[in-house]
Chain A
Amino acid sequence: MNPLLSVENLRVAFADRRGVRVAVDGTSFTVAPGEVVALVGESGSGKSATALAIMGILPDNARVGPGSAIRFDGNDLLVMPERELRRLRGRRLAMVFQEPAAALNPVMKVGEQVAEVAIVHGEGDRQVARARAVAMLERVGLPDAARLYDAYPHELSGGMRQRVMIAAALLLEPALVIADEPTSSLDVTVQAQVLRLLLELQRASGTAVLLITHDLGVVAETCERAIVMRAGRIVETATVDDLFHAPAHEYTRELLAAMPRIRKGA
């Protein structure tokens, strides 16, 4: 099968007063339709820069190297005009952010922020968008969705906020969702629920997920394949089984060794 997403020799550098810092240094990988792939690495390894480059929302001081390509649905996103990119974002390609508290507009009703995705992509007027948003808020397991539509983010718990973000990202059933550390800001008990929700919706709609995480426990539970990044480069790509049982790269072994474990009697 043709890959849904194919990142080819991606290079991203950030320029600031101190000079140029290379965040992503020639990474290549693919994601197949409907696949759940983990992008693993410690902070600063270039995971998030990769995600922002795919979404085309890198900050102003970022530069993408020549010779890089990001093919999605067969088109190179890096040369696509902004107008067309905008139509892809939210509809075919969506993102769940790390901090739902920061990623939701504090002065806008949460329901409106979900409905907005439908509105800006011409998928219905206000009424229709509202109905769709309420239905989606229900699907992500929020109680009393019709009333919650009018709530502001600060009235919700962290887990509920992330459910709202997931509702917005999956509203139009995109082909690919990039989830950037979607659970690391949540309580441990809530993390598993939110991950399970993400995977349920993923299976129901056939959406591919690129799950960015530093948590190998999350990878083991959720993904089929994992890409291990370090210092802007990919050091290993393997099925999750191979990764845990026969890690090929020294760095992967170090990451595995660093995983906290609960031992009986310890």
Chain B
Amino acid sequence: MTLRPRARPGRLSVRIATATLAVLVLVALLAPWIAPYDPSRSGSADTERLLPPSSAHPFGTDAIARDVFSRFLAGTSVSLGTAALALVVVVVVSMTWGGIAGLAGPRTDRWMMRAVDVLLATPRLLVLLALVAFLGRLSPGALALLIGLTSWPQMSRIVRARVRDIAVADYVTAARAMGVPFRRILVRHVLPGTIPAVLAGAVLTLAAVIPLEAALTFFGVGIAPPTPSWGAILHDARDRTLDAWWLLVFPSLAIAATVLSVNVLGERLERDLAEDAR
């Protein structure tokens, strides 16, 4: 199966989703250069606190007189970066775990999948809260690692199922008959065939980890201040939802738009993959 770009005209929703994500990623990459202010610099406590949006501060200012627009731009970087890193962790761990379980003998497989069942049965938020309580406040990288390490079991099931399908393919038997070692069979012959399924799973994962980071940070147990993220700006807004709406609206819109766009593209991807499989 090949993934090729299609000339077929995309539906409007797909175009909007693509454009939204492209803009957000661009913002994330260029944040340090396009931010009008230093995102952690406080202005005058008397004249610049909790200003509504204006031409000088397009997204207003927060309770300690920081420019919310600059914080939003930097926060986009942090939020999307954290999600991307968590996704990489999920993909690597689940492909390794699911790949080995799918190819190994029935005993190893059973043992590895029971472990996945246990992890899936454990409420992720609770585990994360416990870990955060234990580890203290976190850098974005550390939070991404934690989210990634608690989010892979679902995907590992998808990988294992695909691997088990591929493992009985003649070309895997043929590779064994040529004396190709287990690890090489896994890496060269089996895992490449799981990539379409992993892509589809990655979209679901991405749509889950972005709000998760925001929620944890909003509750004050995610990324440590003063690092900005969408969740961090919401955290700063928690006691002023009525009098400083701008603190709430922009990061909320960004989270909603991202998750929605990711889901729209994911749906499209799944349709394309289903067509390719036929």
Contacts and interface: CB of A to CB of B under 8 A. Distances in A.
Interface of A: 52, 55, 57, 59-60, 86-91, 94-95, 97, 99, 102-108, 116-117, 120-121, 165, 168-169
Give the top 9 A-B pairs by smallest Cβ distance, nearest first. Answer: A90-B179, A89-B179, A102-B170, A90-B178, A103-B174, A95-B177, A105-B171, A103-B170, A57-B176
A81 B168 CA distance: 22
B174 A108 contact: no
A120 B184 CA distance: 9
B174 A120 contact: no
A168 B171 CA distance: 12
Contact of B189 (A87, A108, A117, A121): A108
Nearest to B2: A107
Interface of B: 1, 105-106, 168-171, 173-181, 184, 188-189, 192-193
B129 to A, nearest CB: 41
B104 to A, nearest CB: 10
A94 B176 CA distance: 10
Contacts of A102: 169-171
A104 B171 CA distance: 5
A57 B177 contact: yes
B179 A60 contact: no
B169 A55 contact: no
B179 A117 contact: yes
B192 A55 contact: no
B226 to A, nearest CB: 47
B188 A108 contact: yes
A53 to B, nearest CB: 12
Contacts of A87: 179
Given A91-B179, A120-B181, 16 more contacts: A57-B176, A57-B177, A60-B106, A89-B176, A89-B177, A90-B177, A94-B177, A102-B170, A103-B171, A105-B175, A105-B188, A107-B1, A108-B188, A116-B178, A117-B179, A120-B180
B178 A94 contact: yes
Nearest to B170: A102
B179 A104 contact: no
Nearest to B168: A59
Contacts of A106: 1, 171
A105 B171 CA distance: 5
Given A60-B106, A120-B184, A104 B174 contact: yes
Contacts of A88: 179
Given A60-B106, A105-B175, A106-B1, A97 B180 contact: no
B179 A120 contact: yes
In terms of DSSP, what is the predominant structure of the interface of chain A? mixed
26 contacts: A55-B176, A55-B177, A57-B176, A57-B177, A60-B105, A88-B179, A89-B176, A89-B177, A89-B178, A89-B179, A90-B179, A90-B180, A91-B179, A95-B174, A97-B173, A99-B170, A103-B170, A103-B171, A104-B171, A106-B1, A107-B1, A108-B188, A108-B189, A120-B178, A120-B181, A168-B178
A211 B150 CA distance: 52
Contacts of A95: 174, 177
Contacts of B168: 59
A15 B234 CA distance: 59
A86 B175 CA distance: 11
Contacts of B176: 55, 57, 89
A61 to B, nearest CB: 9
A93 to B, nearest CB: 8
A105 B189 contact: yes
Contacts of A55: 176-177
Contacts of B170: 97, 99, 102-103
Contacts of B169: 102
A99 B105 CA distance: 26
A126 to B, nearest CB: 13
Most chain A CB within a 10 A radius of its CB, from B105, B106, B168, B171:
B171
Given A95-B174, A97-B170, A107 B179 contact: no
A83 B16 CA distance: 55
B230 to A, nearest CB: 38
A102 B105 CA distance: 23
Contacts of A86: 179, 181
Contacts of B189: 105, 108
A249 to B, nearest CB: 31
Nearest to A104: B171
Nearest to A102: B170
Contacts of B188: 105, 108, 116
Nearest to B166: A105
